Structure 1
Amino acid sequence: MSALEAVIPTPQVIERLPGASFKPLAPAYVRIPKPKPELQQEAIRIADLLKRNHGLDFQVAVGGTEQPGDIRLEVAPVAGVPTGKEAESYALTVQNGQLTISAPRMRGWYYAAQTLTQILLRSPEVPACRIRDWAAYPIRSLHVDAARKYFPKSWFIRQIDRLATLKINQLQWHFSENEGFRLESKKHPEILSKSYISRQEATEIIAYAQDNHVEIVPAFDMPGHLGWLLRNHPEFRAGEGEYLTRMLDYSNPVAVAFLKELIDEFSSLFIGQTQTWMVGGDEVFPMEWIPKELAKRTPQLSEYAKRNLGPKAEVLDGYMYFLCEIDEYLRLKGFSETRAWSDLLYITNLMNLPPRMQIAYWTQWSELMPSTQKLLERGHQLLNVSDRYFYYVISNRDDCAYKKHVEATEILRNYEPQVFSEKYPSPVAQARVLGSSYAIWCDTPETEDYEQITRGIWPGMAAMSQKTWNPSVKVLDEEGFMSQLYLLAKRV
């Protein structure tokens, strides 16, 4: 496997050219076309990336005559990129010993630099070539359950470096769960776990992610998975018993106002660098309660549904109505793209969610759960969070279905972004698929420490990125893929 083909994820088009190779020399320059602050800042990031990974000293210069060893950055479209895929595209060209990076946006420059650093892991120079590259799907994501388990700021920073290396562009930060609440609230400190990320630390994590073109998506599950928060506010619980004590009584206007107050506080942290907010919506009711037991166990939610949607409305219609209310509230806050888990949606048919809501499709272990076809008919786009391939569950329970983590080689051989974990899978049209997400779940958090998790997710996460960035390439040299991962892991 050559240094060019070893890049993870594999570039879309690699053309060999005649002529001299590019040899990084010191001192050398990263040259930008105009003295614009945003161009200069991106060039500084690229110089820093090369310094950290290879000890190469590059200065930033505006224009000037290109010298041997310099890197020239250009703002320009990339030929041959499919319509709609331009945002992350780049071209990396080596001709006559000179290296030029072209991209329509700064993220493309940065991804080209990541490709360059990977090539230099295996070769001291870059052969004459033209690489044209783009992402097949717009989202490559890592979901982190940082609520059941406390992850320090240093762990997040390291993961952001690793995500950027693999061209993974989202980190979905799950900070609230039944077992913990780990993002500082100044307004309601009573809801916090003993260990949590401070607001200042969160600001620094988000800023570092922005510098590395990783979007931080807040994941604040509702109306279920709120057990820890509701420990200190039992007056907002939906009832008694395992499920209802962990669920917000969304028929109570005071409870909903309390939830919105928290949204107000946290939205100011995340807005500006993302327009997406994961509202959860999963595992609110046990499937065995549906449909006959729901009204009996939650009469106030049954009445809420009928009050808002008419006498034929059922509890699950009211649950969908609540999600719509939260979606609209977040939209007014600037989050135009809400996201929800798939499992309880459209079990009844009276209520529709806004088509703009993204659906994170993870499973269909019950026939009551919606098929992808039903979600597509309602106009949604889907994010593939396949529980078969991408659930990295930390658990010491013998009955855990996800205890064995899927090998990267199995993902490379068998995963397809257009095929979801449903009972009767059939490929979904590519235009309706947003991408893929790997997911860490910390069911028994003490089972693995930070380093074990970092090592454990690395191969599967890389395979997910490969299959989502460039699924058309069949990775034949799996040994070479794993070898490149090993080299990368030593750097990040």
Structure 2
Amino acid sequence: MFGMKNLTNQTLHCMPWPEQVSLPTGRTTPLGRHDSATVIQVAGDPTGRLTRYAQQVLGSFAVGILDITVAAQDPEPTPFLQMDESYRLQVTAKGVELSSPGYWGALRGIATLAQLALHNQLHPGLLIQDKPRFVWRGLLLDVARHFFPLAALKSVIDGLAALKMNVLHLHLSDDQGFRFSSAAFPYLASDDHYTTQELRELVTYASDRGVRIVPELDMPGHVTSWLVAHPEWGTQETAASRRFGVHKACLNPLDEAVYQAIEVLLGEVAGIFPDEYLHVGGDEVNPSWWQSDPAIASYLEQEQLSTHDLQNQFLIRVCSMVTKLGRKAVGWDEVLHPQMPNCVVQNWRGATSRDRALALSRPVLVSGPYYLDLHYPADVHYGFDPEAQQSQWLAQEDALQQDPRLSHVADGMEWTKHWRKDRVDYQGEVRVLGGEACLWAELVNPDVLSTRLYSRLPAVAERLWSPASCTDSASMYRRLQGCWRSLPEDPEAVACKKLLAMGFTEAQLGALCLLEPVKWYGRLLGEEALQARLAGTEMPKARPYHADTLLNRVVDFLPPESMPARQLAELSLLEAATQVKGHLVPWGEDLLNADDELRPVLLCLSKGADLLFAFSAGELSGGQALQQMQTLAKPQGEYMAAPLISWYAALTELTAAN
């Protein structure tokens, strides 16, 4: 492992992939175990914070002398949109030379260096010259539906820095919770909330790691928690809610007292978060309260306005407050309107909302393809380029319905196509600020955070950092698990630890690790609400989860994508079936050691292996095997057996070939 070897693009464990990599020729001995302890020498670090960070990240490695040179002698105190994150990293026989124009680039070089040192790949002669493709590379974390303590947020920031991501977008308010502590309106804050001191501490922690924090107060919808504390800001009474889904509660857009309160709140938020951007939400505004209120209904009729027009008037007022504070507003793509104010549009409803914003000459953040809470495989997120042509993006969306891994939610994805109704054919150049992965927290709490987040976040990080030509998903997968080891927590290791803590044995993990949660909103909606959504009548239907539901079942701890199942798919069908049957032995004869929740999916997995034995023995035709495998591969409750999906795909190919 530590001897001389040839280094190639196939073996370099670096994620995101750098812009330029020059590999040494021939066989080289990497810096590592037999080198002296790392000695960090920094030129251009007057405050010492770069030295402290380098020691924290690299202190456990032995790479000899690390020379860091920062050209700018007066670094900015906080990260900002157009900061220079470029760096140059060269490995010599004596150690490592890292240079950058400023502090922020040096941070990114340290992240790359840490990954290479972890995998013992600091080969003399290696040269990396690197800079990001997009200036905004973020993560939205929903701390409103489930609360994440300060320590968890700091760990997330460490993970973002390790992946060269530079924005943590905090969704601080929603129907279920209000996590910001307001001095002017102290009753707004939920029992679990962040104090002013904690948020200031978090901003400093993030700044030291080159991560901006963009706060969001979502309005005028998603405000049930606001109106429980201040019912006078709405038009109807409402009660505290722990359920998930769109709520009817909405701020009164005709009440000057509401705007006065918002102005105070935004001022308090801006006083804590120094970033130049401030998110004001604007998504999923249910119009029913406005339509049923006599004063608002009269105003709409008198002014000949739609409720969407009224929301735009509200947004214009709020954005002017943001501008007055010296900040720039960001809103979800429901803020799109022909007369909308000048704010950044965050795309989430498919490809068409991006181009609608571009047609209005508005800056855009792309999030639509990067929803981590949908439990999609990493390559699905990886395949969407933020600046792809709309036609290509739409074709990719349509193709997902044919993906065997997602066929069980194809009808749900079909439902989302109503988002395309206002599509425009934008003919200009497609240029966006960047993008954000989104982790909405209906089914995420601190116990399951690392598995839900880090399992696929590296793929999004690479899509936002690396050159547009970096599209090889096979290469991405080769590096993904190695990348996990460089993060605050390895998602796969955490999942195994949680399952063992539930009382399962090491031997039983072999089968459990072949299972995955169902995709899209299958878990969150449940079958009844899913069917109601497809029929357009979801609102009265109860969902199976709410904010107080315990997330302590096997399905909560499973990674969204089974890497052992991917490895099985590389074997012959007979070899894979044999391995699966071996993994099922610890569950006893007839799988009697499995409980009622797990036994159906494990039974399907066992039957699938038996089916392959029968097919290999010539007892079943390809068509018969394919039909039976398709039935077995369907979800069992909230679980999927990942090998059954790949076996069905393989049988489809075999049948087509014959």
Structure 1 unaligned regions, length at least 5:
58-67, 77-83, 394-401
Q: Which amino acid aligns with 1:372?
A: R
Q: Does 1:5 align with 2:8?
A: no
Aligned to 1:442: 441
Q: Does 1:33 align with 2:43?
A: yes
Q: Does 1:391 align with 2:371?
A: yes
**Distance change >3 Å, CA 2–CA 373, structure 1 → 2:** closer
CA shift, 1:178, in A, is 0.7
**Distance change >3 Å, CA 344–CA 125, structure 1 → 2:** closer
Q: Which amino acid aligns with 2:381?
A: I
Structure number having the greater helix percentage: 2
CA contact (8 A) 2:70 2:102 kept: no
Q: Does 1:217 align with 2:217?
A: no
Paired with 1:415 and 1:197, the residues of 2 have a C-alpha distance of: 35
Aligned to 2:310: 318
Structure 2 unaligned regions, length at least 5:
1-7, 73-80, 240-245, 398-418, 491-658
CA shift, 1:345, in A, is 2.1
Q: Does 1:15 align with 2:14?
A: no
CA RMSD of aligned residues (A): 3.1
Aligned to 2:278: 277
CA shift, 1:238, in A, is 3.3
Q: 1:477 aligns with which of 461, 475, 478?
A: 475
Structure number having the greater strand percentage: 1
Paired with 1:128 and 1:6, the residues of 2 have a C-alpha distance of: 16
Q: Larger C-alpha radius of gyration, 1 or 2?
A: 2
- Tell me, what secondary structure is at the counterpart of 1:108? helix
Paired with 1:114 and 1:252, the residues of 2 have a C-alpha distance of: 50
**Distance change >3 Å, CA 392–CA 480, structure 1 → 2:** closer
**Distance change >3 Å, CA 264–CA 71, structure 1 → 2:** same
- Tell me, what secondary structure is at the counterpart of 1:321? helix
Q: Give TM-score scaled by structure 2 length.
A: 0.60
Paired with 2:170 and 2:126, the residues of 1 have a C-alpha distance of: 39
Q: Which amino acid aligns with 1:253?
A: E
**Distance change >3 Å, CA 239–CA 175, structure 1 → 2:** same
Q: Does 1:376 align with 2:358?
A: yes
Aligned to 1:465: 461
Paired with 2:319 and 2:15, the residues of 1 have a C-alpha distance of: 36
Q: Which amino acid aligns with 1:260?
A: E
CA shift, 1:303, in A, is 5.7
- Tell me, what secondary structure is at the counterpart of 2:435? strand
Aligned to 1:409: 379
Deviation per CA, 1:97-131: give whole Å up to 9, x if none. 44222222211111001000000111164331221
CA shift, 1:71, in A, is 1.8
Paired with 2:300 and 2:260, the residues of 1 have a C-alpha distance of: 18
Paired with 2:447 and 2:429, the residues of 1 have a C-alpha distance of: 36
CA contact (8 A) 2:66 2:98 kept: no
- Tell me, what secondary structure is at the counterpart of 1:70? strand
- Tell me, what secondary structure is at the counterpart of 2:455? helix
Q: Give TM-score scaled by structure 1 length.
A: 0.79
- Tell me, what secondary structure is at the counterpart of 2:330? strand
CA contact (8 A) 2:280 2:330 kept: yes
Q: How does 1:14-93 map to 2 (within 5 A)?
A: 14-17=21-24, 23=31, 25-26=35-36, 28-34=38-44, 37-38=46-47, 40-51=48-59, 54-55=60-61, 69-75=65-71, 87-93=84-90
Q: Which amino acid aligns with 1:281?
A: G
**Distance change >3 Å, CA 85–CA 156, structure 1 → 2:** closer
Q: How does 1:78-157 map to 2 (within 5 A)?
A: 87-95=84-92, 97-123=94-120, 125-157=122-154
Q: Which amino acid aligns with 2:172?
A: F
CA contact (8 A) 1:23 1:69 kept: no
CA contact (8 A) 2:356 2:426 kept: no
- Tell me, what secondary structure is at the counterpart of 1:204? helix
Q: Which amino acid aligns with 1:439?
A: C
Paired with 2:251 and 2:279, the residues of 1 have a C-alpha distance of: 17
Q: Does 1:453 align with 2:445?
A: no
CA contact (8 A) 1:6 1:119 kept: yes
- Tell me, what secondary structure is at the counterpart of 2:68? strand
Deviation per CA, 1:76-109: give whole Å up to 9, x if none. 8xxxxxxx98821111122454422222221111
CA contact (8 A) 1:342 1:361 kept: yes
- Tell me, what secondary structure is at the counterpart of 1:157? helix
CA shift, 1:9, in A, is 0.3
Paired with 1:9 and 1:198, the residues of 2 have a C-alpha distance of: 34
- Tell me, what secondary structure is at the counterpart of 1:172? strand
